[in-house]
Amino acid sequence: MKDKQPEAWRQDFPVDWADDHYVSRRDFVKFLVLISGGFATGQLCIGLDQLFQGGAGQGFPRQRLCGLDEVGVGQSLAFHYPDDNEPCLLVRLEEKRWVAFHQKCTHLACAVVPQPEQKRLFCPCHEGAFDIDSGRPIQGPPRRALPKVTLEITDREIFAIGLQRSNG
């Protein structure tokens, strides 16, 4: 009976006190390997996501936005692209110059509004602004550019065909 108790205890705690620091070191290395593996996997997933979403024409639908005579110079059109969760804006800057961007501000996702006369897309929430040609932030708290919709313009119509997400 006396011998049984230490044996049961040894099954739960199989390491001698003298070797305990080795186990701790071994556990710490396991922990590091696990964390590093998780981190590397996360980086790989982010890289693959950017690879597949970063360029125009890579798996994006071709979506008709409007006829060329439906939006006047200085006017804009709201649409969603590439899916219903992504509100976008098409802006006609000049007779033959169009731009389109995601409408969610890259700061805290408020809707930006076009101000073509000031060459910017303005976010009223914290007075952020983006360059209307490039989508780059030019004022206020936003640090990342608005994703830019790649356009295809035919004789009569305009289509969204891709999306360019900036890493900066």
Question: Which residues in this chain contact ligand FES in the complex, by CB under 6 A?
Answer: 105, 107-108, 110, 123, 125-126, 128, 140-142
Q: Which is nearer to ligand FES, 82 or 140 (CB)?
A: 140
Instruction: Compute CA 28 distance to the chain's CA centroid, rounded to the nearest angstrom.
Output: 34
- Shortest distance, position 145 Cβ to ligand FES, whole Å: 13
**CA-CA distance, 153 to 134, in Å (whole number)?**
18
Q: How far is the CB of 20 from ligand FES (least distance, A)?
A: 53
Give the bridge partners for 164, in sequence order.
148
* Cα–Cα distance for residue pair 117/74, rounded to 1 Å: 8
User: Which helix (H) or strand (E) element contains residue 7?
Assistant: helix 4-12
- Nearest distance in Å: CB 136, ligand FES: 14
Residue closer to ligand FES (CB basis): 107 or 165: 107
Q: Are 165 and 54 in contact (CB under 8 A)?
A: yes
Nearer Cβ to ligand FES (125/151): 125
